[in-house]
Amino acid sequence: MIKYLIIEDEPLAFEELKRMVDKLRPEFQMSGWSQSVIQSVSLLKSQSFDLIFADVSLADGLCFDVFNKIPVDIPVIFTTAYDEYAIKAFKVNGIDYLLKPIEQDELEQAILRFERNNVKSASAEVLSAMEAQCGNCPRIRFMVKTGDSFFYVEAYNIAFFYSEDKYTYLHLFSGKRFVMDYSLDTIEGMLDRKLFYRTSRGCIVNIRAIEKCNRYFGGRLKLHCTPQLPAENLVSRGRVKTFLEWIDGIV
């Protein structure tokens, strides 16, 4: 889980930033909020964070005073109404510099930049080690495209793959989705069978997304997932036995 700190002395600005981060990355955890240089130094001494969102101008000085008092190697996304500090910002672990009022798509790109360069989850580290040891191991990430930009997403963070109107989609736990160049048949062979299951012709689901399943007429099972699947997803009678074995850890 990514833990982040917000350094912002304006309560309304803090609330709006937190609201946007919660919407874009509900799996991120806000672990601290400071409104001054003194508070920020205290929090950074007592807690560990993976990411900092920092306003430049604070009640008792500039946020740069924080980094002068306590050296940190944590990526920082600066949020400010002033454009004259941009060069200085990138000298203290700044990965982006957003001018207020902050646009949601600009914040999304800043977070993506952080995610591309800072894989922090223990699961990602484990899967990376697996990939290094075995070229035939399941895929740990997939490349996706948005506009003219390419980046990757970790398989662990994919809630499900599904097909709709002749397209194949990758759907993240964050709610974002991307069109894939692969068919579901091809993707199925790339995935870790302990993590993903082909529940139907049109869907492959991550076990982390399944909340429960209910008996359904015709000997089938109905899945209840978070995030919600784009259409009703039923496990066919012929797949029920192997699906329940998969749920039980028998692969």
DSSP 222-233: EEEESSPPSS--
pLDDT band at 6 (very low <50, low <70, confident <90, very high): very high
Q: Which has the higher per-residue pLDDT, 64 or 89?
A: 64
Across the chain, mean pLDDT equals 87
The tens digit of pLDDT for each residue in 112-141 reads 888 877 644 444 454 445 444 544 568 888
pLDDT at 27 over 50: yes
> What is the rounded average pLDDT of the residues 211-232?
89
What is the CB-side half-sphere exposure of residue 231 using CA atoms within 13 A?
13
Please, where in the chain does CATH 3.40.50.2300 lie? 3-117
Superfamily of structural domain 122-247: LytTr DNA-binding domain (2.40.50.1020)
pLDDT at position 89 = 83
Q: How far is CA 214 from the centre of its chain?
A: 29
Q: What is the mean pLDDT of residues 189-193?
A: 91
Say whether pTM exceeds 0.75: no
Q: What percent of the chain has pLDDT over 70?
A: 90
CATH node for 3-117? 3.40.50.2300
The predicted pLDDT at position 16 comes to: 96
**DSSP 8-state assignment for residue 43:** H
- Residue ranges, CATH 2.40.50.1020, the chain: 122-247
